Structure 1
């Protein structure tokens, strides 16, 4: 008997929680939960396919390449094997895999394929979790995980770096704001996503202003 949407989502949640139980704090289950919650809000607002958005948002960081020596094949293999246990329609399976395989920031510069509304929603939800107060916390968490200094005034580069440098470099975490975080507002796909991003973007600008003042010893 075919499973209901809610049954599939529930089983996916259990699978993802187990898969990410030892994940770095910025890419753990709570990141997934936030992305999922935001994606569901956008799905309701934009009348998108709940099953596609739910599964893509829940599964998108399973087997993330940056935690597997840059191997882009690990995630799709693990995710694909799990999805096959859910007896999805072929179209739904392909749609979910397409979103997950193409939605990341590191792939966005070279991606020129079609973005369904479901793709746009999941990508916006993931990007929203990369900015604002949570985005700042995640950036410093990942920087610490990678052993990066949080700031070096002699190495600040306000230009976006190449994807290979972005993934493997040891640049300070503050640089990451200019490499990625401050760019995301203008890369939102939906008006609903942009509205949320504008507030978070302003919060980051305020944080940077305060950070530089305190770095200089200005109270």
Structure 2
């Protein structure tokens, strides 16, 4: 059960994190972090993990995306998170567990999630990239990257080559259950998009005859 002190510490972390996310893209902003936090809390209840570690890791997992000075955004975020949590007054044990979870939430850093909390953070982060919210984030990210909707190096290819592949890499069964219908929603969207594009193409060809 969370105490008043715990809630106060969490609120301090949110306020500090907001300053970092204010400089971020809208695909990796505070709203994303808060949604990952909620997914993490949900998964923590289902598998019996430490919700405090997961909440803190979720809130801070992307704060190093802007102006990262280390090898990856995960490593930069982990370093910043340690400084913030020490400042707020968390124990060294919690700080290190949060750090390890953040380091492993993106495999680009080369760190595999070993703890249950790290696995849940990884899964929770991926759950926010599927469904209607996932599509919104994909298009926000694609806009920043300058990607077209479809074709080579596009939002569509990012979905096909990366987002769809998240499913087989999820660590918890609970996340797999939540992921499936959200992925099906996205599959339906891309099929409908292709149908609409084909209709327009055929219509244009007919009108040119």
The answer as to 2:186 corresponding to 1:204 is yes
- For residues 116 and 125 of structure 1, the distance between their equivalents in structure 2, rounded to whole angstroms, comes to 14
Distance 1:68 1:87, change over 3 A: closer
User: In the aligned structure 2, how far is the partner of 1:149 from the partner of 1:51?
Assistant: 40
**SS of match in other structure, 1:217:** helix
The offset of 1:126, in angstroms, is 0.6
Aligned residues: 196
Write out aligned runs for 1:44-63 (5 A).
44-63=45-64
Give 1:73-152 correspondences, 5 Å limit: 73-107=75-109, 110-111=110-111, 113=112, 115-152=114-151
Q: Distance in 2 between matches of 1:22 and 1:64?
A: 9
The residue aligned with 1:176 is: 158
Unpaired segments of 5 or more residues in structure 1? 156-170
d(CA) in 2 for partners of 1:10 and 1:203? 34
Task: Indicate yes or no: 2:199 matched with 1:217.
Answer: yes
Secondary structure class of the residue paired with 2:132 = helix
Q: Which has the higher helix share?
A: 2
- CA deviations on 1:62-116 (whole Å, 9 max, x unpaired) are 0126x64884253233222112112322222111101111211434xx54x4521
Gaps of 5+ in 2: 204-209
Equivalent position of 2:206 in the other structure: none
The CA RMSD over aligned residues, in Å, is 2.1
Q: Which stretch of the first structure deviates more once superposed, 27-36 or 87-96?
A: 87-96
Alignment of 1:179-198 (within 5 A): 179-198=161-180
TM-score in terms of structure 2 length: 0.85
Q: CA deviation at 1:44?
A: 1.8
Which is greater in Rg? 2
The CA distance in 2 between the partners of 1:204 and 1:194, in whole Å, is 15
* 1:142-198 Cα deviation digits (max 9, x unpaired): 11111121112xx3xxxxxxxxxxxxxxx1111001221111122111111111001
1:163 match: none
Q: Deviations over 1:31-88 (max 9, x none)?
A: 11111111111112222112111100110010126x6488425323322211211232
